Amino acid sequence: MSRDRDVQAFHDRSLGYETGFRGQLHAEIVTRSLDLALLHCPTPDRVLDVGCGTGQLLRDLAQRLPGAACLAGVDAAAGMIEQARAKASDPRLRFEHGTAERLPVLTRPSTW
């Protein structure tokens, strides 16, 4: 599958991404990934999730890191960013449409 088709498939799934069996599986992967990441880096000040999807990982991280300054996410699928922004209530969360290969300016730490 080409990158564009891959991103289009994520865009098409964005609305129900956190629901159903796959959503439950993803939530478990997020929890385990964060457990591991925080073992190695327990108190990061700024976090960037490239390929952030609906922002689930960053929302969970925001709850676990009350002292973090900024949690930013970038995703190539516009629908994912739309969902991430709609679900975010913590003001430290920022989401931007963009790609890993060409990161938007807001994700550079000097601009946070």
Ligand X SMILES: C[S@@+](CC[C@H](N)C(=O)[O-])C[C@H]1O[C@@H](n2cnc3c(N)ncnc32)[C@H](O)[C@@H]1O
Closest contact distance (angstroms) between CB of 46 and ligand X is 16
Could you say which residues in the range 20-59 bind ligand X, by CB under 6 A?
Answer: 30, 49-53, 56-57
Choose between 49 and 93: whose C-beta lies nearer to ligand X: 49
How many angstroms separate the CA atoms of 83 and 64, rounded?
A: 21
Query: b or e along 65-77 (b: 16 or more beta carbons within 10 Å of the residue's beta carbon)?
Result: beebebbbbbbbb
How many angstroms separate the CA atoms of 65 and 17, rounded?
A: 24
Contact 35/12 with Cβ under 8 angstroms? no
The stretch among 38-46, 64-72, 73-81, 87-95 that binds ligand X (CB under 6 A) is 73-81
Choose between 82 and 112: whose C-beta lies nearer to ligand X: 82
Farthest-apart Cα atoms in the chain, separation: 40
Choose between 86 and 100: whose C-beta lies nearer to ligand X: 100
Coil, strand or helix at 94: strand
Q: Which of 15, 25, 86, 100 binds ligand X (CB under 6 A)?
A: 100
Return residues touching ligand X (CB under 6 A): 3, 6-7, 10, 30, 49-53, 56-57, 74-77, 80, 99-101
